Amino acid sequence: MTTIEETLVVHPGGTLRGTLRVPGDKSISHRAVMFGALAEGITEIRDCLLGEDVRATMGAFRALGVQIEELDGGRLLRVHGAGARGLSTPTDVLDLGNSGTSIRLLTGILAGAGIAATLTGDGSLRRRPMQRVTAPLTCMGAQIATESSGTPPLVVSAGAPLHGIEFPMQIASAQVKSAVLLAGLFAAGRTCVEEPAPTRDHTERMLRGFGVTVDVAGPRVCLDGGQRLRAASITVPADLSSAAFFIVGASIAAGSDVLLENVGVNPTRTGVLLILERMGANIERLNERDVGGEPVADLRVRGAALRGIDIPPAWVPLAIDEFPILFVAAACADGVTRVRGADELRHKESDRIATMATGLAAAGIELETFEDGIEIRGGQLQGTSVESHGDHRIAMSFAIAALRAAGSMRINGAATIATSFPTFTALARAVGLGL
């Protein structure tokens, strides 16, 4: 397994050139393993991301009695589905590491399946809010205890069967939507979630691939409980959230030209492309196609002069994981970039408004933070030393920032990159980053 050094020193300057394929989409990989585990039959997953987060999901399902084979050097996973009622009670605490998607979706599944378990994770995960999932699941009849701060460990009890609910979701969160829908699969009656803004819809798309009827009407997603999942064959597209580091890197480094192959471009994820295009980026979508119900394209990105923009609040959920690297783009743009309505950034693997503001300010960039956003004035980045705060996307963002810095970037706590992108340093070096 690839490991990444705890401290990365990235030399300043350079251009990015070449063709690369980043690893599989994290959201889709988690769901493929989970749904494969709940299905009847053997699910084959190609190009699954084998980062630490998805491995946490795989480890949890193995602890729940599901056999998962890793073949062909990890390029093929074979999940021996236990069926909706076939999971066993784990004998130990389930440790989901750094992974919010694992703990939140699994809580929905376990509450639905009536499996008693304790779920926990690392220091970052144990600071993240869980009431957003435990509250609607409790309304469905689940019994789940949290710390008094609403954080993990979560203790799920094997209580009475759940019943479907009508859930008007207050936060635009795909993890919350998915946790409730997955619990709804086991519940009596119908479960409906209404989202305040579009969020990633991989759960809805993939459940259909597993033979489940999911009704989507505008912001409302509904499904009937008691439906069975049938094993499927899934090919995971490359992760746009990982590609984003190279898309921004190529955009900010004049003379760059990269081709990112086979990238997932589901419209609920492409806010990063909309934002960068409005900033003046040169991104071509080539060879657009459908792979197993998910839109995919090759992306050619060339260096361009970026300008600051006001990011429309409606685009925030569509780019929610890309703000750390978008803030680097903003720091390299001409003028001011503003985002508001993005308070969810404070609840990610780190408080991404605070951690990016601290690092960019240390690199000499003028900025102002708000509870729900940030204003960044483009300028000259200086070399500096930054902390990842246990957040993979913060570490990768500052590595890419070195392309436009006047001195080296030193990133402490970089090993966390392996949660989502274990081959980041190797790929970045191959296309020209000074690592």
Interface with ligand S3P (CB under 6 A) = 27, 101, 173-176, 178, 200, 320-321
Nearer to ligand S3P, 200 or 205 (CB): 200
Q: Please state whether beta strands 409-412 and 384-387 pair in parallel, antiparallel, or not at all (unpaired).
A: parallel
Residue 123 CB coordination number (10 Å): 9
Sheet containing 257-264: give its strands across: 17-20, 257-264, 294-302, 282-291
Q: Say which residues have a Cβ less than 8 Å from residue 109's Cβ, sequence separation at least 6.
A: 34, 38, 87, 182, 183, 186
Residue 218 CB coordination number (10 Å): 8
Q: Say which residues have a Cβ less than 8 Å from residue 316's Cβ, sequence separation at least 6.
A: 172, 197, 271, 339, 341, 342, 344
Residue 234 beta carbon to ligand S3P: minimum distance, rounded to whole angstroms: 15
Residue 261 beta carbon to ligand S3P: minimum distance, rounded to whole angstroms: 22
Residue 175 beta carbon to ligand S3P: minimum distance, rounded to whole angstroms: 3
- 310 classed as catalytic: no
Can you tell me the distance from the alpha carbon of 261 to that of 432, in angstroms, rounded to the nearest whole number? 17
Residue 349 beta carbon to ligand S3P: minimum distance, rounded to whole angstroms: 8
Active-site hit among 92, 321, 351, 372: 321
Q: Say which residues have a Cβ less than 8 Å from residue 149's Cβ, sequence separation at least 6.
A: none
Nearer to ligand S3P, 384 or 397 (CB): 397
Can you tell me the distance from the alpha carbon of 352 to that of 344, in angstroms, rounded to the nearest whole number? 9
Cα 216 to the chain's mean position, in Å?
22
Which tokens hold the place of 271?
Answer: 């806010």
Q: Is the peptide bond before 312 cis (omega within 30 degrees of 0)?
A: no
Can you tell me the distance from the alpha carbon of 157 to that of 119, in angstroms, rounded to the nearest whole number? 11
Which tokens hold the place of 405?
Answer: 């810095």
- Residue 172's nearest CA partner among 345, 350, 311, 317 is 317
Q: Please state whether beta strands 76-80 and 336-339 pair in parallel, antiparallel, or not at all (unpaired).
A: unpaired
Which tokens hold the place of 400?
Answer: 């890419």
Residue 347 beta carbon to ligand S3P: minimum distance, rounded to whole angstroms: 7
Residue 262 beta carbon to ligand S3P: minimum distance, rounded to whole angstroms: 19
* Helix extents (H) in 187-270: 202-209, 240-252
Nearer to ligand S3P, 384 or 419 (CB): 419
Residue 284 beta carbon to ligand S3P: minimum distance, rounded to whole angstroms: 26
Can you tell me the distance from the alpha carbon of 119 to that of 104, in angstroms, rounded to the nearest whole number? 10
Can you tell me the distance from the alpha carbon of 16 to that of 111, in angstroms, rounded to the nearest whole number? 47
Contact 98, 349 (CB under 8 A): yes
Residue 305 beta carbon to ligand S3P: minimum distance, rounded to whole angstroms: 30
User: Active-site residue numbers?
Assistant: 321
